[in-house]
Chain A
Amino acid sequence: GQNIDQPTEMTATEGAIVQINCTYQTSGFNGLFWYQQHAGEAPTFLSYNVLDGLEEKGRFSSFLSRSKGYSYLLLKELQMKDSASYLCAVRDLNSGGYQKVTFGTGTKLQVIP
Protein backbone atom coordinates (compact mmCIF):
# COMPACT_ATOMS: atom_id res chain seq x y z
CA GLY A 1 0.00 0.00 0.00
CA GLN A 2 0.92 3.65 -0.01
CA ASN A 3 0.98 6.44 2.50
CA ILE A 4 1.09 9.98 1.12
CA ASP A 5 1.26 12.96 3.45
CA GLN A 6 0.96 16.64 2.64
CA PRO A 7 -0.19 19.63 4.66
CA THR A 8 -3.91 20.24 4.65
CA GLU A 9 -3.83 23.99 4.19
CA MET A 10 -1.35 26.78 3.53
CA THR A 11 -1.63 30.53 3.16
CA ALA A 12 0.80 32.74 1.29
CA THR A 13 0.99 36.31 0.06
CA GLU A 14 0.68 37.40 -3.53
CA GLY A 15 4.11 37.75 -5.11
CA ALA A 16 5.77 35.50 -2.57
CA ILE A 17 7.19 31.98 -2.84
CA VAL A 18 5.56 28.94 -1.27
CA GLN A 19 6.79 25.37 -0.91
CA ILE A 20 4.32 22.50 -0.57
CA ASN A 21 5.85 19.32 0.79
CA CYS A 22 4.84 15.74 0.17
CA THR A 23 6.20 12.60 1.79
CA TYR A 24 5.34 9.12 0.69
CA GLN A 25 5.97 5.49 1.44
CA THR A 26 5.68 2.92 -1.29
CA SER A 27 7.35 -0.32 -2.29
CA GLY A 28 7.43 0.01 -6.06
CA PHE A 29 7.94 3.70 -6.73
CA ASN A 30 7.66 4.68 -10.36
CA GLY A 31 7.13 8.42 -10.44
CA LEU A 32 5.52 11.32 -8.61
CA PHE A 33 3.04 13.83 -9.99
CA TRP A 34 1.80 17.21 -8.89
CA TYR A 35 -1.63 18.35 -9.94
CA GLN A 36 -3.53 21.59 -9.42
CA GLN A 37 -7.24 21.42 -8.73
CA HIS A 38 -9.56 24.38 -8.47
CA ALA A 39 -12.76 23.87 -6.53
CA GLY A 40 -15.33 21.92 -8.48
CA GLU A 41 -12.98 21.21 -11.36
CA ALA A 42 -10.86 18.29 -12.45
CA PRO A 43 -7.13 18.24 -11.70
CA THR A 44 -4.67 19.65 -14.18
CA PHE A 45 -1.17 18.29 -14.60
CA LEU A 46 1.72 20.37 -13.27
CA SER A 47 4.79 18.15 -13.11
CA TYR A 48 6.22 14.68 -13.10
CA ASN A 49 9.42 13.50 -11.38
CA VAL A 50 10.88 10.05 -11.59
CA LEU A 51 14.56 10.86 -11.01
CA ASP A 52 16.07 12.74 -8.10
CA GLY A 53 16.43 16.45 -8.55
CA LEU A 54 14.63 19.61 -9.46
CA GLU A 55 12.40 20.08 -12.47
CA GLU A 56 11.63 23.69 -13.32
CA LYS A 57 8.72 24.80 -15.44
CA GLY A 58 8.03 28.50 -15.42
CA ARG A 59 6.87 29.67 -12.02
CA PHE A 60 6.48 26.10 -10.81
CA SER A 61 9.28 23.73 -9.82
CA SER A 62 9.12 20.24 -8.40
CA PHE A 63 11.79 18.39 -6.47
CA LEU A 64 12.16 14.70 -5.73
CA SER A 65 14.35 12.69 -3.38
CA ARG A 66 13.58 9.01 -3.79
CA SER A 67 15.84 7.93 -0.95
CA LYS A 68 13.94 10.18 1.45
CA GLY A 69 10.49 9.57 -0.02
CA TYR A 70 10.10 13.30 -0.31
CA SER A 71 8.97 15.82 -2.87
CA TYR A 72 8.05 19.45 -2.90
CA LEU A 73 6.29 21.80 -5.25
CA LEU A 74 7.65 25.33 -5.35
CA LEU A 75 5.47 28.15 -6.57
CA LYS A 76 7.15 31.49 -7.27
CA GLU A 77 5.69 34.94 -7.83
CA LEU A 78 2.38 33.81 -6.45
CA GLN A 79 -0.75 35.08 -8.13
CA MET A 80 -4.29 35.14 -6.80
CA LYS A 81 -5.29 32.55 -9.41
CA ASP A 82 -2.86 30.10 -7.80
CA SER A 83 -5.36 29.64 -4.98
CA ALA A 84 -6.29 26.00 -5.40
CA SER A 85 -5.65 22.55 -4.04
CA TYR A 86 -2.36 20.94 -4.97
CA LEU A 87 -2.37 17.17 -5.15
CA CYS A 88 0.69 15.00 -4.78
CA ALA A 89 0.26 11.64 -6.52
CA VAL A 90 2.56 8.64 -6.53
CA ARG A 91 2.73 5.96 -9.16
CA ASP A 92 3.94 2.54 -8.23
CA LEU A 93 4.02 -0.96 -9.55
CA ASN A 94 2.31 -3.66 -7.57
CA SER A 95 3.44 -7.24 -7.39
CA GLY A 96 1.58 -8.02 -10.58
CA GLY A 97 3.40 -5.32 -12.53
CA TYR A 98 0.27 -3.21 -12.61
CA GLN A 99 0.77 0.54 -12.47
CA LYS A 100 -1.36 2.53 -10.11
CA VAL A 101 -1.46 6.22 -9.26
CA THR A 102 -2.55 7.14 -5.75
CA PHE A 103 -3.39 10.70 -4.77
CA GLY A 104 -2.67 12.45 -1.53
CA THR A 105 -5.43 14.38 0.19
CA GLY A 106 -4.20 17.63 -1.28
CA THR A 107 -2.97 20.94 0.10
CA LYS A 108 -5.39 23.81 -0.12
CA LEU A 109 -3.40 26.95 -0.87
CA GLN A 110 -4.89 30.35 -0.26
CA VAL A 111 -3.12 33.32 -1.79
CA ILE A 112 -3.89 36.60 -0.06
CA PRO A 113 -3.22 40.15 -1.28
Chain B
Amino acid sequence: GAVVSQHPSWVICKSGTSVKIECRSLDFQATTMFWYRQFPKQSLMLMATSNEGSKATYEQGVEKDKFLINHASLTLSTLTVTSAHPEDSSFYICSARWSRTYEQYFGPGTRLTVT
Protein backbone atom coordinates (compact mmCIF):
# COMPACT_ATOMS: atom_id res chain seq x y z
CA GLY B 1 0.00 0.00 0.00
CA ALA B 2 0.88 3.66 -0.21
CA VAL B 3 3.26 4.95 2.43
CA VAL B 4 3.31 8.41 3.95
CA SER B 5 6.07 9.51 6.29
CA GLN B 6 6.31 12.41 8.67
CA HIS B 7 9.33 14.03 10.21
CA PRO B 8 9.97 14.55 13.00
CA SER B 9 7.88 12.02 14.90
CA TRP B 10 8.05 14.20 17.98
CA VAL B 11 9.44 17.61 18.81
CA ILE B 12 9.72 19.83 21.85
CA CYS B 13 10.17 23.54 21.35
CA LYS B 14 10.03 26.71 23.36
CA SER B 15 7.28 29.29 23.15
CA GLY B 16 7.85 31.81 20.42
CA THR B 17 9.91 29.57 18.19
CA SER B 18 8.84 28.02 14.90
CA VAL B 19 8.65 24.35 14.06
CA LYS B 20 8.51 22.73 10.64
CA ILE B 21 6.89 19.34 10.08
CA GLU B 22 7.42 17.46 6.84
CA CYS B 23 5.00 15.06 5.20
CA ARG B 24 6.21 12.87 2.34
CA SER B 25 4.48 10.38 0.11
CA LEU B 26 7.11 7.72 -0.46
CA ASP B 27 5.76 5.63 -3.30
CA PHE B 28 3.12 7.71 -4.99
CA GLN B 29 2.51 11.24 -6.18
CA ALA B 30 0.20 13.05 -3.82
CA THR B 31 -1.89 15.58 -5.67
CA THR B 32 -3.61 16.50 -2.44
CA MET B 33 -2.34 16.52 1.12
CA PHE B 34 -4.31 17.17 4.26
CA TRP B 35 -3.15 18.39 7.65
CA TYR B 36 -5.02 17.39 10.77
CA ARG B 37 -4.64 18.20 14.43
CA GLN B 38 -5.75 15.91 17.21
CA PHE B 39 -5.95 16.87 20.86
CA PRO B 40 -6.01 14.16 23.53
CA LYS B 41 -9.17 12.08 23.48
CA GLN B 42 -10.57 14.08 20.59
CA SER B 43 -11.02 13.28 16.95
CA LEU B 44 -9.00 14.55 14.04
CA MET B 45 -9.72 18.13 13.08
CA LEU B 46 -8.90 19.12 9.53
CA MET B 47 -6.70 22.20 9.48
CA ALA B 48 -6.08 22.66 5.79
CA THR B 49 -6.02 21.02 2.41
CA SER B 50 -3.18 21.61 0.01
CA ASN B 51 -2.93 20.83 -3.66
CA GLU B 52 0.46 20.67 -5.30
CA GLY B 53 1.53 24.00 -6.68
CA SER B 54 -1.32 26.03 -5.24
CA LYS B 55 -2.15 27.77 -2.00
CA ALA B 56 -3.59 25.74 0.83
CA THR B 57 -7.25 26.00 1.73
CA TYR B 58 -7.64 26.53 5.45
CA GLU B 59 -10.58 25.47 7.56
CA GLN B 60 -12.54 28.03 9.46
CA GLY B 61 -10.80 29.08 12.64
CA VAL B 62 -7.32 28.02 11.52
CA GLU B 63 -4.90 30.94 11.25
CA LYS B 64 -3.11 30.70 7.95
CA ASP B 65 -0.40 33.10 9.06
CA LYS B 66 0.37 30.93 12.03
CA PHE B 67 0.20 27.56 10.32
CA LEU B 68 2.13 27.92 7.08
CA ILE B 69 1.61 25.14 4.59
CA ASN B 70 3.72 24.56 1.52
CA HIS B 71 3.07 21.83 -1.03
CA ALA B 72 5.93 22.45 -3.38
CA SER B 73 6.10 19.03 -4.99
CA LEU B 74 3.96 15.95 -5.53
CA THR B 75 5.75 14.13 -2.73
CA LEU B 76 6.31 16.77 -0.08
CA SER B 77 4.19 19.10 2.00
CA THR B 78 5.37 21.05 5.01
CA LEU B 79 3.52 22.58 7.94
CA THR B 80 5.31 25.31 9.86
CA VAL B 81 3.92 26.32 13.22
CA THR B 82 5.11 29.89 13.74
CA SER B 83 5.48 31.60 17.12
CA ALA B 84 4.51 28.38 18.83
CA HIS B 85 2.45 28.60 21.99
CA PRO B 86 1.76 25.90 24.58
CA GLU B 87 -1.80 25.74 23.26
CA ASP B 88 -0.36 24.51 19.95
CA SER B 89 0.84 21.35 21.65
CA SER B 90 -0.95 18.57 19.84
CA PHE B 91 -0.65 15.56 17.57
CA TYR B 92 -0.32 16.72 13.98
CA ILE B 93 -1.14 14.18 11.28
CA CYS B 94 -0.88 14.54 7.54
CA SER B 95 -2.58 12.44 4.93
CA ALA B 96 -2.14 12.21 1.20
CA ARG B 97 -4.25 11.25 -1.74
CA TRP B 98 -3.68 11.03 -5.44
CA SER B 99 -6.22 12.01 -8.00
CA ARG B 100 -9.08 9.65 -8.87
CA THR B 101 -8.85 7.82 -5.58
CA TYR B 102 -10.96 8.19 -2.50
CA GLU B 103 -8.62 6.83 0.09
CA GLN B 104 -6.40 9.01 2.18
CA TYR B 105 -3.16 7.53 3.45
CA PHE B 106 -2.10 8.85 6.81
CA GLY B 107 1.35 9.57 8.06
CA PRO B 108 2.41 8.34 11.50
CA GLY B 109 1.90 11.76 13.07
CA THR B 110 4.10 14.30 14.81
CA ARG B 111 3.67 15.02 18.49
CA LEU B 112 4.47 18.65 19.21
CA THR B 113 5.06 19.89 22.74
CA VAL B 114 5.55 23.60 23.29
CA THR B 115 7.05 24.55 26.63
B residues 69-112 near A (Cβ < 8 Å) are 91, 93, 102-109, 111
A residues 34-69 near B (Cβ < 8 Å) are 40-45, 48, 50
Interface size for chain B: under 10, 10 to 19, 20 to 34, or 35 or more residues? 20 to 34
Chain A residues within an 8 Å CB radius of B43: 87, 103-106
Chain A residues within an 8 Å CB radius of B44: 43, 87, 103
Chain B residues within an 8 Å CB radius of A76: none
- The A contact surface, by secondary structure, is strand
- Please determine whether B46 and A43 come into contact, CB atoms closer than 8 angstroms: no
Would you give 19 A-B contacts (Cβ < 8 Å), ordered by A? A31-B102, A33-B103, A42-B93, A42-B107, A42-B109, A43-B93, A45-B103, A45-B104, A45-B105, A48-B102, A48-B103, A87-B43, A87-B44, A91-B102, A98-B49, A100-B49, A101-B104, A103-B44, A106-B43
B17 is an interface residue with CB less than 8 A from chain A: no
